Amino acid sequence: MIEQYVKTIQINQAAAGLSVKAYLTNCFLSKQMRGKIRQQRGIRVNGQRQSTAYTLRAGDYLTLTVALDSENGQGPYPANPDIVVAVVFENEDFLLVNKAAGMKMHPHSPRETDTLLNGVQAYLDQHQSQSLGRAAKAYMTHRLDRGTSGLVLVGKNPLVVSILNRQIKEKIAVKQYLARVSGLFKERKGAFTQAIGPSKENSYRQRACSIEAGGLPARTQYEVLAENEEKGESLVQLDLLTGRMHQLRVHLAHAGHSILGDDWYGGKKASRLFLQSTKLCLKMPWTMEERSFQLNENWQ
Query: Given the DSSP bridges, would you call strands 206-208 and 130-131 parallel, antiparallel or unpaired?
Result: unpaired
pTM of the complete model beyond 0.85: yes
Residue whose C-alpha is closest to residue 72's, from 170, 155, 146, 172 = 155
211 within 8 A of 289, measured Cβ to Cβ: no
Peptide bond preceding 78 in cis form (omega within 30 of 0): no
285 class by beta-carbon count within 10 Å (0-12 exposed, 13-18 middle, 19+ buried):
buried
Query: Given the DSSP bridges, would you call strands 189-192 and 220-228 parallel, antiparallel or unpaired?
Result: antiparallel
233 within 8 A of 259, measured Cβ to Cβ: no
Residues shown for the chain: 300
Q: What SS3 state is found at 32? A: helix
- Distance between CA atoms of residues 41 and 247, nearest Å: 43
Greatest Cα-to-Cα distance within the chain, rounded to the nearest angstrom: 70
267 within 8 A of 182, measured Cβ to Cβ: yes
The one-digit pLDDT tens for each residue of the chain (300 residues) are 889 999 999 999 999 999 999 999 999 999 999 999 999 999 999 999 999 999 999 999 999 999 998 776 677 899 999 999 999 999 999 999 999 999 999 998 888 899 999 999 999 999 999 999 999 999 999 999 999 999 999 999 999 999 999 999 999 999 999 999 999 999 999 999 999 999 988 988 999 999 999 999 999 999 999 999 999 999 999 999 998 999 999 999 999 999 999 999 999 999 999 999 999 999 999 999 999 999 976 655
